[in-house]
Structure 1
């Protein structure tokens, strides 16, 4: 069965170009021309990936992305923008986008990025089909994309969960920010790893008894982060 792509962009020429090249590459496509329409389609239909423009009428791309993740819809998102702005890149990925491409772009590059995201997503899902991980009062169910702290179900974005799972699988090992960025996001910010710090902060808010004195995710000054078992 062909994989389905939702294209959300308000420029007819870009939508037509992407549709042509994606269908030529074997994908099925659907389209939306406003953020509101894109959100409605993404919520009510199943897609393998969403190509989402940042600047959209009614709802912009960051708001669409944010609402989808709040609704626990973890369909991979490739965000497009006419802005070559580092803040937009960090913000988009922080909100749950999987990759980021700046206009103007080559249609072949979009197809290549989509295939890479889908390969990575499928690999992560296969890797996650493993045994339950328990660290003190934290229990992680990789296959279900769920985690509990003191038997309370936690709410995560896809990337937050993948970061937590990666840290947990490497418990006791110091992981650099670059390692985490490469493993979880498969993305190179040329040394800019703020997105990792933001997500670690989010994880601590959810799992740590005291965020000022974390016992699960330790900061190793000058090196990175390490997951520890506070009861050991």
Structure 2
């Protein structure tokens, strides 16, 4: 069965072009021209991924992303790829804080959009990092690779697919200091720019989900000037 993508975009010409291109690439496409219709479609068709424009006529794309993350069950974990205006780095950072899995600045090449969609869906489907044991346990923190869930003291944590993979990448290398490039390469499988603030945004979200005090983390530690390390044992 083809994976079903929902594009929430008010630019009809762009949406038709993207939907035609992705349709030829094997995806089933649905287009919504405004935020309210898009949110209704998320609940009615349960898409495998949402392509979300930041600027919509009836609601900010950031608010749409927030409302998707506030839905119940699996719908709340629907991957979101946000389309942002070229050069608006702050909008991209806020989008990631709202729970977007990835972003792509406009204008973009359809091939790059396709590559990013495949990467997000691959992470969602089977994870970005391997391993034999499906369950990793660190004190009260449980990471279940098969179910793609994280829990603390039995309470499920709210993480996006990308944040789950970032956490797994760190946990599998517990005790080892990783640079931002090494972490993102482990998750995305390709080298990125030398510095990308999105990794810091995601780490903040992960800490907020798994740490007792996100401002004084004990599990995911920052190594100033280098990157991050997942502590095997908490202080």
Q: TM-score of the superposition, structure 2-length normalised? A: 0.83
Q: CA RMSD in A?
A: 2.8
**8 Å CA contact 2:96, 2:201 repeated in 1:** no
Which shifted more, 188-197 or 54-63? 188-197
The match for 1:3 is 3
The match for 1:156 is 159
How far is 1:13 from its partner? 1.0
Q: Deviations over 1:20-74 (max 9, x none)?
A: 2222222211110001111111122122222211110222222112221232522
Give the Cα–Cα distance (whole angstroms) in 2 for the partners of residues 181 and 120 of structure 1: 12
Give the Cα–Cα distance (whole angstroms) in 2 for the partners of residues 155 and 128 of structure 1: 23
The 3-state SS of whatever aligns with 1:162 is: helix
Q: TM-score of the superposition, structure 1-length normalised? A: 0.84
The match for 2:106 is 103
**8 Å CA contact 2:81, 2:104 repeated in 1:** yes
Which shifted more, 153-162 or 37-46? 153-162
How far is 1:211 from its partner? 4.1
The match for 1:207 is 210
Go from structure 1 to structure 2 and tell me whether the alpha carbon gap of 1:16 and 1:180 turns closer, same or farther (over 3 Å shift): same
The match for 1:230 is 233
Go from structure 1 to structure 2 and tell me whether the alpha carbon gap of 1:119 and 1:230 turns closer, same or farther (over 3 Å shift): closer
Give the Cα–Cα distance (whole angstroms) in 2 for the partners of residues 55 and 172 of structure 1: 42
**8 Å CA contact 1:181, 1:193 repeated in 2:** no
How far is 1:188 from its partner? 6.6
**8 Å CA contact 2:129, 2:169 repeated in 1:** no
Give the Cα–Cα distance (whole angstroms) in 2 for the partners of residues 91 and 105 of structure 1: 20
Q: 1:165 aligned to 2:168? A: yes
Go from structure 1 to structure 2 and tell me whether the alpha carbon gap of 1:51 and 1:171 turns closer, same or farther (over 3 Å shift): same
- Structure 2, gaps ≥5 residues long: none
2:138 equivalent among 131, 135, 138: 135
The match for 1:89 is 92
**8 Å CA contact 2:86, 2:105 repeated in 1:** yes
Which shifted more, 172-181 or 103-112? 103-112
**8 Å CA contact 1:6, 1:51 repeated in 2:** yes
Give the Cα–Cα distance (whole angstroms) in 1 for the partners of residues 213 and 17 of structure 2: 51
The match for 1:63 is 63
Which shifted more, 64-73 or 115-124? 115-124
- Structure 1, gaps ≥5 residues long: none
How far is 1:135 from its partner? 0.9
- Total equivalences in the alignment: 232
1:198 equivalent among 178, 186, 201: 201
